[in-house]
Structure 1
Amino acid sequence: MTPLKKIPIECRSIGLSYDGGKTEVLKDISLRIEPGEFFALLGPSGSGKSTLLRLIAGFNRHQRGELLVDGRDISATPPHARNIGMVFQSYALWPHMTVWDNVAFGLVERRMSKAVIKQKVGAALELVGLSQYAQRRPGQLSGGQQQRVALARTIVIEPQVLLLDEPLSNLDKTLRVQMRQELLALQRQLGITTVFVTHDQEEAMTTADRMAVMEGGVVQQVGTPAALFDYPVNAFVAGFVGTTNLVQGEIAAGTGNSLSFRAPALGELALPATSADALPGKATLSFRPHTVKVARVGDACEHRYFWLDGKVEHGEFLGEFVRYHVRVGTMLFAADQLHHASMPGFTTASPIRLGIDVSQIRILAA
């Protein structure tokens, strides 16, 4: 198949409500998805991500705002006229049809010639590696193969946009990793603008060029996976994109290039005044477990860290590292230690020292 035209998608102040406006599901959604971009909508159940995806497809209708595809407002265009392909979580394959007939279905509905159908279906099946399964039925295929059929059926009609609604959630972990790599490779080959809905941060971070984190029908932050991980704008994003430690406290006016943060769990901590939002008043500090240094009591401590004394409540062995949950006063902090064979660890109730790298602390709005 030849690469498809790369087009942008733009949401302008979109609002969607149910029950005559009583239940607001999407609130002033404004974002732009670039031509040929693999864009993820990430958020927990009920955040509005699937509603927004179905709105782009035409299955939901917004009451406010504009939805532009390739610069044209398609808000009033019915789903069948949008030339948008969608892969559902359940795959939605016809169980009584062969793989070939499932993939050909959209072309038959468009009344294309038999020669064109044969050429396009053959190319789509070859693209997803299922040419040899053309005469099988969906029930004779594995979950991963069924997903490929659903993809082939969607891309064979050469849509302007590809929408993916949690297409990996029915697969086991190993197959999910394999299929997300194949999805990304296929998207890169076709160059099609793709919107991928998931609640799995790992899926979003390993595939997306950029992503939007949603909660409560609001886009909390848009950016590259690295930008959202390293520089979250609020506590929700910090906690949903990865794991983080959050400390609530108060910023006092600083001097020069530093400011003072006070919290019962930390005491007083001098931080570099690098954030324009770090104004005096209530604030939350965020720092990732992998940036925390773990040391035994009595070990030499590097001066660039801010050190806290605590006790291990429990540890989680995660293969590449051990995540310790450490009690410091009334706070429970997570700290990661890389694991090597025969490496001694910390047992429950062990005294421990945590070193916080001040350069890795992020100041968030309270």
Structure 2
Amino acid sequence: MQLHPVSLECRHISLSYGNNEVLRDVNLKIEPGEFFALLGPSGSGKSTLLRLIAGFNRHQRGELLVGGSDITNVPPHARNIGMVFQNYALWPHMTVFDNVAFGLVERRETRDAIRRKVGEVLELVGLSQFAERRPGQLSGGQQQRVALARTVVIEPKLLLLDEPLSNLDKNLRVQMREELKNLQHKLGLTTVFVTHDQEEAMTTADRMAVLDKGVLQQVGSAAGLYDYPVNRFVAGFVGTANVLEGEVTQVTGESLSFLVPGIGNLLLPRPAEAPEVGRAAISFRPHQVQISVRDEWGDASRVWLDGKVESAEFLGEFSRYRVRVGEVAVVADQAHYAGIGMLPMGTAVRLGIEPSQLRYLDA
């Protein structure tokens, strides 16, 4: 099987349906052989962008380049782009072999070539022994492998996956995302997949893009987006985040003053790239918060907030507390150890945040 990874580039892509702007000035470069995720909530434009790449809809402005060539005017059947749909779209009356061979038959390849290529790809996805079965005799995970094999066998330039794991139960999703990642690495095929599941994107993709309301919010690695979100939306969508809205009132050589309504003025160490005076927000992750009962001594290097436990959830590996700090509810996760009980509601606590973990977000 000869697969040659190519780049994919969106240059100022915009698409509207009447007055509804679905994609707005999307600029994106995906490298050859990259496993790339489009992540966002329903209505964000991620599936529209995937279908646009496949050729099922058309942008009004911008360029769509595959391997450096603009394919905007190339019809879907001539793009040689493979797509796996959410429902797999397998022919129920055909065997696994015939489902996988369908695209090769349409291309009028020889019987020997079809037999060789289908055999090779079925072995690749671990389904050689199921060649004569029909889709209804397979599990959900096996059906997904058939759909992947049918797409890969035509040796596409790009592989597109639309919510590939959404129809599987949780345990099988974990198994299949690992298999999907391993298969993509074996093939070295440039792959773009759409998901609304942040865990799925973070554990599978080399890089990902977060979309909201048709606008590309941020592109980067999972760790990059999680640790350094550029705005409130990314901070809240990629993982769980506490966001404190407020105002930077003063910036000096070593510190800044951040006024949070309902909490008061926080004196914080000045970060390398200090925000300007004015409206701003800071974010931090629940697991980065240290909880101490009010009369315990705390690390002086941390930023401390006083509050009361409003609710508590036991989640196995950790306990999640919701702490009322003035007018703000702060979420704090604490690792669970046997023999250590949970703090009861109403407990007066202090929340300690390491200053290096605070992120200043764009307004």
Output the CA distance in 1 between the equivalents of 2:34 and 2:320.
Answer: 35
1:9 aligns with 2:3: no
The Cα offsets for residues 22-68 of structure 1, whole Å up to 9 and x where unpaired, read as 11110000010011101100000000000000000000100100000
1:64 aligns with 2:57: no
Question: In the alignment, residue 169 of structure 2 is paired with which amino acid?
Answer: D
Output the CA distance in 2 between the equivalents of 1:204 and 1:73.
Answer: 28
Structure 1: runs of 5+ lacking an equivalent: none
Structure 1 window deviating more from structure 2 (138-147 vs 309-318): it is: 309-318
Structure 2: runs of 5+ lacking an equivalent: none
Output the CA distance in 1 between the equivalents of 2:313 and 2:241.
Answer: 15
The equivalent residue for 1:91 is 88
Q: CA deviation at 1:328?
A: 1.2
State the TM-score, normalizing by the size of structure 1. 0.97
Q: CA deviation at 1:342?
A: 2.0
The correspondence of residues 177-326 of structure 1 with structure 2, limited to 5 A, is 177-274=174-271, 276=273, 278-326=275-323
Output the CA distance in 1 between the equivalents of 2:315 and 2:39.
Answer: 24
Match of 2:116 among 115, 119, 126: 119
The answer to whether the 8 Å contact 2:252/2:270 transfers is: no
The answer to whether the 8 Å contact 2:45/2:214 transfers is: yes
Q: CA deviation at 1:277?
A: 6.2
The Cα offsets for residues 227-256 of structure 1, whole Å up to 9 and x where unpaired, read as 110111000000000000011100023111
Q: Secondary structure at the match of 1:253?
A: strand
The equivalent residue for 1:364 is 361
Q: CA deviation at 1:101?
A: 0.5
Question: In the alignment, residue 211 of structure 1 is paired with which amino acid?
Answer: M
Computed over aligned residues only, the root mean square deviation of the Cα atoms, in angstroms, reads 1.1
The equivalent residue for 1:353 is 350
Structure 1 window deviating more from structure 2 (57-66 vs 345-354): it is: 345-354
Q: CA deviation at 1:353?
A: 1.7
The answer to whether the 8 Å contact 2:263/2:327 transfers is: no
Q: CA deviation at 1:275?
A: 5.3
The answer to whether the 8 Å contact 2:263/2:328 transfers is: no
Q: Secondary structure at the match of 1:167?
A: coil
Match of 2:325 among 324, 328, 338: 328
Question: In the alignment, residue 127 of structure 1 is paired with which amino acid?
Answer: L
Question: In the alignment, residue 7 of structure 1 is paired with which amino acid?
Answer: V
The Cα offsets for residues 99-129 of structure 1, whole Å up to 9 and x where unpaired, read as 1100000000000000000000001111111
Structure 1 window deviating more from structure 2 (43-52 vs 340-349): it is: 340-349
**Structure 1 residues 253 and 310, CA gap change in structure 2 (3 angstroms):** closer
Output the CA distance in 2 between the equivalents of 1:269 and 1:275.
Answer: 18
Output the CA distance in 2 between the equivalents of 1:8 and 1:165.
Answer: 19
The answer to whether the 8 Å contact 1:247/1:265 transfers is: no
The answer to whether the 8 Å contact 2:268/2:303 transfers is: no
Q: CA deviation at 1:317?
A: 1.7
The Cα offsets for residues 182-229 of structure 1, whole Å up to 9 and x where unpaired, read as 001000000000001000000000111111000000000011111110
Output the CA distance in 1 between the equivalents of 2:184 and 2:315.
Answer: 32
Question: In the alignment, residue 130 of structure 1 is paired with which amino acid?
Answer: L
Output the CA distance in 2 between the equivalents of 1:305 and 1:273.
Answer: 13
The answer to whether the 8 Å contact 1:282/1:365 transfers is: no
Match of 1:107 among 85, 104, 108: 104
1:146 aligns with 2:143: yes
Structure 1 window deviating more from structure 2 (25-34 vs 275-284): it is: 275-284
Match of 1:80 among 65, 77, 100: 77
The answer to whether the 8 Å contact 2:64/2:71 transfers is: yes
Q: Secondary structure at the match of 1:311?
A: strand
1:340 aligns with 2:353: no
Structure 1 window deviating more from structure 2 (101-110 vs 255-264): it is: 255-264
Output the CA distance in 2 between the equivalents of 1:109 and 1:88.
Answer: 19
Output the CA distance in 2 between the equivalents of 1:273 and 1:182.
Answer: 45
Structure 1 vs Structure 2: percent identity of aligned residues? 67
Output the CA distance in 2 between the equivalents of 1:54 and 1:32.
Answer: 17
Question: In the alignment, residue 99 of structure 2 is paired with which amino acid?
Answer: N
The answer to whether the 8 Å contact 2:34/2:190 transfers is: yes
Output the CA distance in 2 between the equivalents of 1:122 and 1:166.
Answer: 27
Output the CA distance in 1 between the equivalents of 2:272 and 2:359.
Answer: 9
Question: In the alignment, residue 102 of structure 1 is paired with which amino acid?
Answer: N
The answer to whether the 8 Å contact 2:86/2:163 transfers is: yes
Output the CA distance in 2 between the equivalents of 1:299 and 1:181.
Answer: 44
Question: In the alignment, residue 153 of structure 2 is paired with which amino acid?
Answer: V
The equivalent residue for 1:133 is 130
Output the CA distance in 1 between the equivalents of 2:4 and 2:227.
Answer: 33
Output the CA distance in 2 between the equivalents of 1:63 and 1:362.
Answer: 37
Output the CA distance in 1 between the equivalents of 2:221 and 2:71.
Answer: 27
Number of equivalenced pairs: 363
Q: CA deviation at 1:168?
A: 0.2
